[in-house]
Structure formats: C-alpha cells, structure tokens
Structure 1
Amino acid sequence: MNDLLAIPCVLMRGGTSKGPFFLASDLPANTGERDQILLSVMGSGHPLQIDGIGGGNPVTSKVAIVGPSSVPNADVDYLFAQVRVDQQLVDTSPNCGNMLAAVGPFAIEAGLVPARGDKTLVRIHNVNTGKLIDAEVPTPGGSVSYLGDATIDGVPGRAAPIALSFMDAAGARTGQLFPTGNALDIIDGVPTTCIDCAMPMILIEAHSMGVSGLETSAQLNADKALLARLEDLRIKAGERMGLGNVRNQVTPKPVLLSRASSGGDLNVRYFMPHQCHPSLATTGAVGIATACISDGTVASLLIGKKTPPLQLSIEHPSGRLDVRLSEKDGKIVAGILRTARRLFEGQVFAKPAKQIDCAA
C-alpha cells in the first residue's frame, strides 16, 4: 500500500505566479498538520525544491486554499500560503494578488460558484487580510475560458482577461494605511514610507540605497550588501509597523522606487523580501499606487501626488503593470487586469507529518 498521502490538487498560473490550488476540505483543519503537508508537497528546505513541486523560486512556491465563504457578501474564502524555498516555513500573513487571479476560475470549476452568463463575478474573501476582492471571470457558454487576447508583462502569450477589483485594501494587516502614524519615516537615516495597503511594504527611493533602480533583478540579487541592508531596514520597519519580529515573515516587503524610464509613471523593484521579483506583485502594485495618491509619501514626493480617478502605469523588470484607482463610498478601489491558466489536475503526494524532516 502506498504510504504517501494522496491529495486532490490543481496546479494553476495566476498572473506572474504559479502554485497548487487545494480545496480547504481536502487539507487538515489543524494548522500545524496542514503546514507540514504543504512543506512536503512543495519540497521546501532545498534550493531546487527537488523533492516537491515547488519551482525553487518564491513566485513558484505559493499555495492557494479555497473553500466556501465564511463571511457574508462573499462567494468563497481564499487563504494564501507563501512556502519558503530555503527554509521549512509557511507564512500565511500576506495576500497574493497574482495567485488571486486564478481563484475565481478555480472556484467555478470546483463547483463552489455557478457560472452566470458570459462573465461571472466572483467575490473573494481573502482570509489572510479579511479584505474583499471582486474577480470578473470570462465564462462564455457557462464554462471558464482561459483563451483570449489579453497580455500581461512577465507572462508569454495571450489569455482571457480577469479583472480584479480590490475593495478598500488599506490596513490589510495592521488596520491602518500608515501603521507608524506617518507618511514618511526616517530609519537609519533613510527616508521611508511604511504602508499597509493590500500588502505591508516599506517604500524607499532607490538612490537612497546607492542604486539607480533600473538594475535587473539578477543584478540586485547579486548585490549581497544591498540585500543585507534592505533586510535590516525591513526588520526595523516591521517593529515600527507593529508587526513584531518579522525575521521569519515575508512582510513587510521592501520596494525600491525611481523615476519611470519608459513612459510610465513610476519605476519599481519589489523584493519578496530576500530576492527581487522578476516583475511585480499585484498586491504590491495596489499599495504602491495608493502611495502615489497620498500626501508626503516617498512615492508622491518622487513623482508628484496624483488624484483619482486615474490609471497609473508602474514599470518593473519585465515591463509594466497598470492600476486603475477610483473612489467608492469614500474608499479607494484599485482595479488590475490579470490572466490565469489551469495547468494540470490530479493528486499530489505528501509524506505523513511524522516523516517530514523539519531540519532539512
């Protein structure tokens, strides 16, 4: 008899990320047992995740857990888990907006939400942050369609568009847009903006760190002195933001800002937090755009404060990401276009918890 655990799973690309999607009912309710299974599934603790299905990179070591909504006015619950590549750690403190793009299609095809006409609106409750996000999924003929003409930088080819609307993303972790009470803080002599909007982040002008902000991800990842300094600032910012000791958390995320070089509004390099993202996190884009319309932030001081409604174009290492900002009932709504694709479905095999080497 097979002594491994067989768990139903769908591998999906969401935006510029990729990872397994599970129904909540197929995983243990106990958090510790669930996390041990995720570590085994992904193969964490090895740089290549050779004993699992993770891709050896933070953007391909992500997990989505989806189930019926536990709150009113939502269709489904979505719990995101960032599974560390190099360590046996599972962090469920942040949301992931790229994986979020695949939640709607997954929920419809899993029978959690019925298709409604040519486009189906799926209201998603992100369990990590308690926030609601609307996803508009193409469902011509009552079935999810992944084929279309939409393109997003960082993903080759074309696909069906999925429109995401983040409803009042401010205070996702801390309950405050600026958890330190300030739009601008000086940490170790460096002007920073500690912002919590869709994702807790620390925004820094690139020149303050001795770089231009136009470097490639590989160049920045090779700058060990820069990475060490960013980590030191991140840990100190986490304390100021009320997040406690963030050494084993992936938030807040450090972000380097500079002036746009290719016709956009702003150029960014987003860290995850110990590697530079090859493009840009969707949640990161929401927070960065919100900083651009807020007085006194590193972003608005760099490019001049913007006023909604507007569309901001944020340049990143793989191209650009556009964010539409508007106001509804006195709150900011951020809209982003993403794509997704179902890659395979079946069973993934995990070691029983007692067989997992937690020292790997």
Structure 2
Amino acid sequence: MHTPATLVRGGTSKCWLFQQVHVPADRDALEQLLVAAYGSADPVEPAGVGGATPTTSKAAVVAASPEPGVDVDYLFAQVGIGTGNVEWTSNCGNCATGVALYAVAKGLVPITGDRTRVVMRNTNTGAVLEGWVDTTGSVVHEFGDQTVPGTRAGGVAVGLAFRDPAGRTTGALLPTGLPAQDVRPGGAGPVRVSMVDAGAPVALVDAASAGHTGAEPLDAMTGLVPWLRSVRHACATELGLSTPGAEPGDAVPKVGLVGPPVAYTSTLGDPVPADAYDVSVRMLSMNAPHPAVGLTSAVAIAAAALVEGSVVERHARPDRSGRLRIGTPAGVVEVRCEDVRDGLPGRVTVQRAARLIADALIYVPTPPPAPALALPSPPRGH
C-alpha cells in the first residue's frame, strides 16, 4: 500500500505532511501507519522515511479548517525513533512554517500579492498561528535565500506568529503560580526551575543552580540528557501533565538550561560574542540535545523573560522593545513579544524559512486503514 505525502523543510526541521483524506481518522490507526511508514521501531529508521533524529522524524496531517477565521488545521506527530510509537502532546513551530508554505502551494489558501497570510490551528493544543509566506510577484516560490541559525541552506521566507500563546495547555502562563521554584529531580539536590506554558509547557533550569553555564556545547549536553529527563519528569508531575507513578513521556514539558550570555562558537563554526545576544539556552528535543531551539520553546523563553523572578528574566539582558535574542548551539535566534498586556504577550513572532522538497508516494509495509473524513477536534477549553 502507499500513501501520498509531501516532504517539507521548516526552519531546522523536516516534516512529512499528509492530507487528512489520505490517512485514518482514528488516532491509533494513524499512529500505526506513521510508525510503519517511518520505520519507527528501528533506531536508525533505515526502512522508512524517518530521519533518525528528533528534528527529522516529524509528521503533520493537514486539512482545510471548519473554524471561522482559520485557514487550515494541522495535527502534529513527533514520531518516535526506535520506540515504535508517536507523541501527540505538543506542537512544532518549524513544522508549522512548512505547513504555511504547503497551504499556499497546494491551493488551500489563495495568494494575496507579495505576502500571503495563512492562519493555522494546531489541533493537538488548540494554538492558533499566523504564517506570512513570501509570494513576491503573486507566485509560489520553490526556492529562496532566507536563512535561519543552524543551517546555511536558504529557503522561502515565512514569518511566524503565535497568537495569545500563554496557557494553551495548562490554562496559565505560570501553571504552578510561581515564577521559579526548587525541584529535586530523581531525589537529587534541588535546582531552580521556571515552569512556563506559552507555545508549549517548558521547564527552564537555572544552569548555575546545577553547576552548569547554559552555554554548553552539544557534546556536553549529550551527557546531561539523562539528568535533564529526570528534571522533565519531575516537572511533568508539578504541571499536571503526568501522575505520580505513571510512565512519563518525553515530549512535554520541553526542558533545558538557561544562563547569561558568554562568548562561544556555533555549530557552524561562527564566533558568537557575548554582546550579540541576551540569554544562553540549551534545550532537549525529545531525548537528544536540540541543535538550535524549538520554536515553541523559544516562545516560552520569550514569555518567561517578561516575568519578574523567572530564571530567564534573571539572566537576560533587558530590552524594552520586546525583542529577545536567544543564544543557541546553532547561533542566535531572535524572538519578539508584541501586544503585551498584564505581562502576557498577545503575539510572539519569529522569522523562519521553508521549502517544499518532494511530493511522494510512501510505500507502507502494513495496509493503512480507511481514509479519514475529519481531523480530531482540539482539546476542550482551547
């Protein structure tokens, strides 16, 4: 059996996009199809379309949205590597960047001059995003020269905005009511953590409280993965995302280290002086160091910078314009908070790049169930 799909590059991620009419409506059946198509049960995914890294083992199911004011809905899937399962609990801003370009290229949204707006709803979380796709000359572009930290490859420029991102999963920007608190991961000594829900739930560790800098190179971060997972699992319980004794997941909360700016060299070999950015961040992507920073994490980090007493606010250089320059392994990612009211951002924006790579028929080793008629509804309250 085979399933039509389109491979897109969004930012520093690659994502296979499926139209809803070509995949099952039932979540379990859809998971079975993705696991088989990606070869997810194998840690190197040689017999499937998975890329064997968290940033290249992603998928989304896209459909025209029935919601007034929304152009497309998309269901995001983080396909496990060597696990044979799929995480459905989060969102991916890089994939949303690709969805925006895809929606224009496939005619789901009509072109409107030199820039075309695409309003997207992530049905995992209910988050609403806007993509502004470069359609200069009123045409869809196959290639572009917009770059992002982490790769020198250019793409079509896509501006991405997260609307009212605070509390989409837990109901509050600060789900525990505290800007920062001590957590004892795995029964070890306490570390200072800010738990923030904006874009996605995140647990941001004050690196100094754990004897780190927040500017560690990727090889050093690899050695910290088991400990950071224990931080994630402890914070998941605090956030109500898991119950004590339950098998913890590894999608949310996103977890990482935060520290002050220091000079370092990016993974592309570029020197990054301390005065070129505002705060150091090193995040995990599932169970591996993120090569840059996930956009949903970047949104949460930017929102945390607005909160007095958070670990981000403690270390970040102040910028009254709402701009936050995040130092990541790949380089500096700039995020902006706009329309801030009562400490909550009305929009968080970032400039990205996307590219359509291929339209394909994916040969799936197990027969896929019947095609879907509709995407699952967003969670209640969103």
Supply the distance in 2 between the matched residues of 1:169 and 1:199 (Cα, whole angstroms). Answer: 8
Amino acid at match of 1:19: C
Q: Which has the higher contact order (CA 8 A, sep 6+)?
A: 2
Q: CA deviation at 1:164?
A: 0.6
Supply the distance in 1 between the matched residues of 2:277 and 2:341 (Cα, whole angstroms). Answer: 29
Corresponding residue number in structure 2 for 1:133: 129
Q: CA deviation at 1:169?
A: 0.6
Q: CA deviation at 1:217?
A: 1.4
Q: Deviations over 1:175-212 (max 9, x none)?
A: 11111121112111111111111011100022223322
Amino acid at match of 2:331: G
Q: CA deviation at 1:142?
A: 3.3
Corresponding residue number in structure 2 for 1:336: 350
Corresponding residue number in structure 1 for 2:266: none
1:351 aligns with 2:365: yes
* Residue pair 1:295, 1:305 contacting (<8 A) in 2 also: no
Relative to the length of structure 1, the TM-score reads 0.92
Supply the distance in 2 between the matched residues of 1:191 and 1:153 (Cα, whole angstroms). Answer: 28
Identity of matched residues, % = 33
Q: How does 1:1-360 map to 2 (within 5 A)?
A: 5-188=1-184, 189-221=190-222, 223=223, 226-244=224-242, 245=246, 247-261=248-262, 262=273, 263-303=276-316, 307=320, 309-327=321-339, 331-332=344-345, 333-352=347-366
Corresponding residue number in structure 2 for 1:358: none
Corresponding residue number in structure 1 for 2:373: none
Supply the distance in 2 between the matched residues of 1:228 and 1:134 (Cα, whole angstroms). Answer: 35
Q: CA deviation at 1:305?
A: 5.7
Supply the distance in 1 between the matched residues of 2:307 and 2:65 (Cα, whole angstroms). Answer: 33
* Residue pair 2:179, 2:194 contacting (<8 A) in 1 also: yes
Amino acid at match of 1:346: A
Corresponding residue number in structure 1 for 2:268: none
Amino acid at match of 1:29: A
Q: CA deviation at 1:301?
A: 1.6
* Residue pair 1:324, 1:336 contacting (<8 A) in 2 also: yes
Q: CA deviation at 1:46?
A: 1.4
SS of the residue 2:226 aligns to: helix
Supply the distance in 2 between the matched residues of 1:339 and 1:231 (Cα, whole angstroms). Answer: 30
Supply the distance in 2 between the matched residues of 1:272 and 1:238 (Cα, whole angstroms). Answer: 16
Q: CA deviation at 1:304?
A: 5.8
* More displaced 10-residue stretch of structure 1: 136-145 or 319-328: 136-145
Supply the distance in 2 between the matched residues of 1:142 and 1:24 (Cα, whole angstroms). Answer: 27
SS of the residue 1:117 aligns to: coil
**Count of aligned positions:** 347
* Residue pair 2:6, 2:358 contacting (<8 A) in 1 also: yes
Supply the distance in 1 between the matched residues of 2:139 and 2:23 (Cα, whole angstroms). Answer: 26
Q: CA deviation at 1:214?
A: 2.3
Relative to the length of structure 2, the TM-score reads 0.87
Q: Unaligned 5+ residue runs, structure 1?
A: 356-360
SS of the residue 1:211 aligns to: coil
Q: CA deviation at 1:117?
A: 1.3
SS of the residue 1:157 aligns to: strand
* Residue pair 1:191, 1:204 contacting (<8 A) in 2 also: yes
Supply the distance in 2 between the matched residues of 1:208 and 1:117 (Cα, whole angstroms). Answer: 51
* Residue pair 2:93, 2:294 contacting (<8 A) in 1 also: yes
SS of the residue 1:337 aligns to: strand
Supply the distance in 2 between the matched residues of 1:303 and 1:141 (Cα, whole angstroms). Answer: 40
Q: CA deviation at 1:9?
A: 0.7
**Change beyond 3 A, Cα 1:304–1:152:** closer
